[in-house]
Amino acid sequence: MSLFYIESNMVCLVFFLLLLIRSLKGVDRQEKRRVFDVVIVCHVFYFISDILWAVFISGIVEGSPFIIILLNILNHIILGALACFWFIYIEIEQGAQYINQSSKRYWVIIPVFISTFIMIGIYLFKPELFMNPDRSATGFYNFVFLAVPVSYVLLASFRSTYRAFLKGNYANRYLYFIYAAYPLMVAMLGACQMIWLRIPIFCFGCTITMFYIYLISMDTLVSMDPLTGLNNRAQLKRYVSSEASDRQDYYILMLDLNNFKYINDKFGHVEGDAAIKMAAQAIKRACTDDTLRPFAARYGGDEFIVIVKTGDEEKALEFKSKILWFLSTLNQKANSPYEVTTAIGYAKYNGDVSTFEKALSEADHKLYDEKAEIKNASK
């Protein structure tokens, strides 16, 4: 093993340490960010372990077969954990609800433990299956070493690709494809590393791809509302000035929760946040109809904006009805001491950026007309 291989891993190790420090200083400490940090930590430990392995294999430091075996097992555990936590990160990032349950997350982690016990058992009782007399790895070792990490990789890639084609995900389809491609890229780099052991393909490849993923995650952070998972106000402005500036007909729907101040004052801000998230969930479910190319954003507080690509008022009203129906369904399931309802105003928008504020104002007026009607009807 060349000195260049060791130096390359050390450079990549420094990069990941800097990336970890930068990530830990971030203000976003949601669950997915914490899991992302664990992925970075796994990279750090893997490079440290790989550096030690290279030092002993190259003969720079004399190592016994026991140390080589120990490092092989350590590499296997770290690589399995890296693939496992990347899979968990992908599932959280893409909104899989089951992964937030501790019992189900344990099931996701179990294969790493099983493969580790298998590797330890074979080293203890049948080491010749893993190691040739010259200390080089056997084909069977490579299979056991990669079986679990590759399984996580393929599963993450398959699920990301599948979700990319689901209705409602068309707006973020590019991100789903990136997340599908990343684990496959890492797997190919690992396979190449197995073939060309003396070339630091894996460390450089992981560093480049992880840096790109980090940039994407930062871009998502600045464009997404952390509470609801919808686009934020800044992203709305970018959308209007780019995609929705094609001089085609749109409808703008503006939503504002009814009695939101009462919910906040009576039940507390935690329940207020829950009400906002319920409304956002209803909007997301309505947006699965990608024939209208809906764009949804949290405008601020308990206000939301949805832009649908149609000049047909009837279709816009149908979309409005869908939101109200989904919100009613979520209320029934929640069984909360309060009901989350919303008024929705709408206005036609011709795709000219200079007229957007006027259309938004018109939707706002209709919104408060509807609020007044709801208030009078409740008297």
| pLDDT, position 221 | 63
pLDDT digits (tens, 9 = 90+) for 208-219: 877 877 777 776
pLDDT of 66 above 70: yes
Q: Topology of domain 3-223, per CATH?
A: Rhopdopsin 7-helix transmembrane proteins (1.20.1070)
pLDDT of 189 above 80: no
Q: What single letter denotes the amino acid at residue 16?
A: F
pLDDT digits (tens, 9 = 90+) for 279-312: 998 998 888 766 788 889 999 889 999 999 998 9
Give the span between the Cα atoms of 7 and 118, in whole angstroms. 32
Give the span between the Cα atoms of 11 and 48, in whole angstroms. 11
pLDDT band at 169 (very low <50, low <70, confident <90, very high): low
| pLDDT, position 321 | 93
pLDDT digits (tens, 9 = 90+) for 201-242: 778 877 887 787 777 777 666 677 878 878 888 888 888 887
Instruction: Domain ranges for the chain, please list them.
Output: 3-223, 233-377
| pLDDT, position 106 | 86
| pLDDT, position 28 | 58
pLDDT digits (tens, 9 = 90+) for 337-369: 889 999 999 999 988 888 899 999 999 999 988
| pLDDT, position 130 | 82
pLDDT of 379 above 80: no
Token pair of 301 as six digits:
């507080």
| pLDDT, position 328 | 92
| pLDDT, position 289 | 66
pLDDT of 1 above 60: no
Average pLDDT over residues 29-50: 84
pLDDT band at 315 (very low <50, low <70, confident <90, very high): very high
**Side-chain half-sphere CA neighbours of 249 within 13 A:** 8
Token pair of 279 as six digits:
């409304």
pLDDT digits (tens, 9 = 90+) for 94-115: 777 788 777 788 889 999 999 9
Token look-up 């209007």 returns 240
| pLDDT, position 253 | 95
Give strand ranges (E) for the chain.
Answer: 250-257, 295-300, 303-308, 342-349
Residues 6+ apart with CB under 8 A from 160: 90, 94, 176, 177, 179, 180
| pLDDT, position 251 | 93
Query: Could you tell me the pTM of the whole model?
Result: 0.66
Task: Provide the β-strand partners of residue 251.
Answer: 308, 348
- CATH superfamily assigned to domain 233-377: Reverse transcriptase/Diguanylate cyclase domain (3.30.70.270)
Average pLDDT, the chain: 83
Q: Is 259 left (phi over 0), alpha (psi -120 to 50) or beta?
A: left
Three-state DSSP state, 299: strand
Q: How many CB atoms lie within 10 A of CB 67?
A: 14
| pLDDT, position 290 | 66
pLDDT of 49 above 90: no
Terminal-to-terminal C-alpha distance of the chain: 82
How many angstroms from the chain centroid is the CA of residue 374? 39
